[in-house]
Structure 1
Amino acid sequence: MHYQQVVITVTQDKVDKLSDALIENGALSTAIEDANAGNDDEQPIFGEPDMPTEQVWQQSNIVALFGKHADIEAIVSAAARDCGIDMPHYYLETIPEQDWVRLTQSQFDPIQISSRLWITPSWHNQPTEPGVINLQLDPGLAFGTGSHPTTHLCLQWLDKHVHGGETLLDYGCGSGILAIAALKLGVGRACGVDIDPQAIRASQDNALQNQVDAEFFLPDDLPAAQQFDIVIANILANPLRMLAQMLAERTRTGGEIVLSGILAEQTEELSEIYCQWFDLNSPITLDGWVRISGRKRA
């Protein structure tokens, strides 16, 4: 059966109420997206300990799904009336019936990170060439399937610099991909930290799927004062600013730090912050994103 999809752009003070009202008046589902995604006004949302967290974008799109015969005009009007707002403008399109599982799977092909490191969804054949290291990772609840340039930058660093037996902290682990890759490349112990309990669960599931023994924690559960040979954080520039001292303290003297989630224009500022503790290498850039790495001074 065909479906009808409605997109309504609203301000942050209306998004939750209108989304709930659409469900109450017959929407099959709703999703909230950044109305400015993909342009200069895109608004990243994140949260870290002791930092204020934005819960919704200033301008959001409510994407609501309806059955083929739903009276969209009447439902949107009723939902607006329930919220005490004027009838909003909306965009309507028809969604044809599809095999959604196959459609989703078709969007995720194996990804080659280096000559030996691959990321392969479970529905694809695994590479069998001698010496190949494969990460089996399916898209899920947590960010990080390996397709983003920042993930590539971090995985490429690990592929080149892990020698075996190191301890590693992946701060902002998302899907756990970096900790899992590090273990498969030979680190002795890998811990991941994330503020999102769903990310912790997804990381644990992915570690089990890849048959590695990684540890994952919420920030307050990571053992205090523990230091690591490698600290890697693929997050965003603002939390990297706020967490700089903590990440430096988690890196042992002589250990290495790897940072990404940084736009090219943010490189100089982040480098100035981290050079307080680290001798930094030249930044590496991929598709406008930057990796900063360095060794902690005595």
Structure 2
Amino acid sequence: MGTPMSTNWLEISVAAPREAADAVAEVLGRYGHGGVAIEEPIRPDPEGEGYEVDLTAPVVVRAYLPENAAGRRRLGRLLQALWHLRQVVEFPEPEVRTLAEADWAHAWKEHFRPHRVGPFLIAPPWAEVTADGLTLIIDPGPAFGTGLHPTTQLCLELAAELLRPGETVLDLGTGSGILAIAAARLGAGQVLALDIDPLAVKAARANVRRNRLSRRIRVARGTLKGPAGPFGLILANLSAPVLAELAPAIAGSLAPGGRLVASGLLVGRADELEARYADLGLRPISRRVSADWAALVMGRGQE
């Protein structure tokens, strides 16, 4: 994105009611550096091996900007856009704080513990776990994707159900690389992981090396500008506007008989996106919901 790396970051966070989270995320995504992180209020479940979403608490939407002159200018535009949005949608004023990358990492270490999602055990590198074939060692860095968010969990569960050993997989908007690593653990032949954020690319590459999967996963900075692949399985955990914008490229990159898992969207946008992809030749297969978030599974017929 051409933004110089900085040791300090401006964190903009909004504790939004669920009905306003999508609109807030669209604004923060427009001005933030490399997209947004949507943090569900999560608490450990009574069993101690997983997490559950607190549906009574607000959703926290975060974006980051480098603390430099260009970042401060974008912050001004972002805050102005949020002010206009608050005239029509009710949510609290945003909070802005300066955050060093080291502080960010330390905060994650306090809250990120080993947990299970479907067949996977997800653990940070500083935790002591007994690794097995479906263990994912993830240090998110300043990137989205620890396996705690409902959309990440939906994608992990669906990948475990849908992936065919040996097929080629695209992880679009890879974040920390968690879905790409999961796909490789499930037996994918080759995985391409793309993200427009250089910080996410850096984190994903480090996690791929950490999981010793560099020969099977290629991480690159970028997005789909048109049909590519083709891929047998595409995992796209993005946002509703980005999924709509990239629909022609995503649909055109799916191999005959291939499946798309599209998530990162609230339930209220599911019908609209499903129709968008159906117009491009993909048939709806199933839909899964968790804590107001949806994942769509669509497929291309054998041609």
Question: TM-score scaled to structure 2, two decimals?
Answer: 0.68
CA shift, 1:107, in A, is 1.0
Task: Find the counterpart in structure 2 of residue 31 from structure 1.
Answer: 10
Question: Retained in 1: the 8 A contact 2:195–2:223?
Answer: no
Identity, % of aligned positions: 31
Please state if 1:106 is matched with 2:107.
no
Residues 100 and 142 of structure 1, relative CA distance in 2, 3 Å threshold: closer
Change in Cα spacing, 1:212 to 1:63, as seen in structure 2 (3 Å) is same
Counterparts of 1:231 and 1:183 in 2: how far apart (Å)? 13
Which amino acid is the alignment partner of residue 152 of structure 1?
A: Q
Q: Which SS does the other structure have where 1:140 is aligned?
A: coil
Q: 1:220 offset after TM fit, Å?
A: 6.1
Instruction: State whether structure 2 residue 241 is matched by structure 1 residue 226.
Output: no
- Secondary structure class of the residue paired with 2:200: helix
Matches for 1:143-154 after TM superposition, within 5 Å: 143-154=144-155
> Closer, same or farther in 2 for the Cα pair 1:61/1:160, shift >3 Å?
same
Structure 2 residue 295 is the aligned partner of structure 1 residue 291:
yes
Unaligned runs of 5+ in 1: 1-28, 66-98
Residue 36 of structure 1, CA deviation: 4.9
* Matched residues, number: 230
* CA distance in 2 between partners of 1:221 and 1:271 (Å): 19
Which structure has the bigger radius of gyration?
A: 1
Matches of residues 40-59 of structure 1 in structure 2 within 5 Å?
A: 40-42=19-21, 43-44=24-25, 45-46=28-29, 55=74, 56-57=78-79, 58-59=82-83
- Note if contact 1:118-1:132 (Cα within 8 Å) is conserved in structure 2: no
Paired AA for residue 168 in structure 1: V
Q: Distance in 2 between matches of 1:127 and 1:159?
A: 21
2:96 aligns with one of 52, 62, 66: 62
Decide whether aligned partners of structure 1 residues 240 and 63 sit closer, same or farther in structure 2, where only a CA change above 3 A counts. Answer: same
5+ residue gaps, structure 2, are 1-7, 37-62, 64-73, 84-93
Report the Cα offset of residue 34 of structure 1. 3.3
**Cα distance in 2 between the residues matched to 1:207 and 1:101:** 18
TM-score normalised by structure 1 residue count: 0.69
CA distance in structure 2 between the aligned counterparts of 1:271 and 1:164, rounded to whole angstroms? 27
Secondary structure in 2 matching 1:46: helix
Aligned to 2:258: 255
Instruction: Name the residue aligned to 1:210.
Output: 211
Contact persistence 2:10–2:96 (CA under 8 A): yes
Q: Displacement, 1:186?
A: 0.4
Using the alignment, how far apart are the partners of 2:152 and 2:140 within structure 1?
A: 14
> Deviations 1:196-226 (Å, cap 9, x if unpaired)?
1111111111100011021112226989742
Name the SS for the 1:139 alignment partner: coil
- Aligned-partner SS, 2:252: helix
